[in-house]
Chain A
Amino acid sequence: RKEVEQDPGPFNVPEGATVAFNCTYSNSASQSFFWYRQDCRKEPKLLMSVYSSGNEDGRFTAQLNRASQYISLLIRDSKLSDSATYLCVVGFSGGGADGLTFGKGTHLIIQP
């Protein structure tokens, strides 16, 4: 199965700052891309799907760069409640039983 890689962090960021992190994928035929947020000892929750044209949801912006094979997540005006692990998920129809590959996550800590 092809790999998905994320910088594990932790990223320590002051409240109110803008933070961005990337997720690289090795399979150029990947077809779907998602960002999930996972709080400590909780289940992952979908943050946003990532579309080719990029998409924005409030303070969060996700982008896809197919040429360089990565997706990015930008968080503006960061809040203490944004502290979590952010998981990147990449989908491919030929990629194993479920077609999904998970990154190990980037740990973000927003500091007051």
Chain B
Amino acid sequence: DGGITQSPKYLFRKEGQNVTLSCEQNLNHDAMYWYRQDPGQGLRLIYYSQIVNDFQKGDIAEGYSVSREKKESFPLTVTSAQKNPTAFYLCASSAGPYNSPLHFGNGTRLTVT
């Protein structure tokens, strides 16, 4: 059964440490996304990739990095430069940009202390 998988579900880190969130999809989708959701806020785009080996910054890319070496995988690294990293992180994929529905992973809840 096709889907998109994020791991881990919960992640705890000390301030100053980099951490990588995993996102894998087997939907054969070209486009992949990373969003951040804070309480009472809408989803905000961190990074977007339309194709392998290419990605674009979203609205809040500072302090984050990504790679897209394989179509199926789009890992997100939260670096120590991110000032307020505690949040709910959602990975998504779609068949195409803006006009295809997003399929979301079940999210990673990151807590940095």
Contacts and interface: CB of A to CB of B under 8 A. Distances in A.
Interface of A: 1, 8, 31-32, 34, 36, 41-46, 49, 87, 89, 91-93, 95-100, 102-105
Given A42-B106, A97-B57, A102 B101 contact: no
Interface residues of B, number: 27
7 contacts: A1-B59, A32-B99, A42-B106, A44-B104, A87-B42, A98-B48, A102-B43
Interface string B78-100: 00000000001010000001111
Name A's interface SS: loop
Contact of B97 (A1, A98, A102): A98
Given A42-B107, A43-B107, A98 B98 contact: yes
Most buried by B among A36, A42, A97: A97
Contacts of A46: 101-103
Interface in B19-47: 31, 33, 40-43, 45, 47
A64 B97 CA distance: 20
A102 B98 CA distance: 11
A14 to B, nearest CB: 26
Contact of A96 (B40, B59, B109): B59
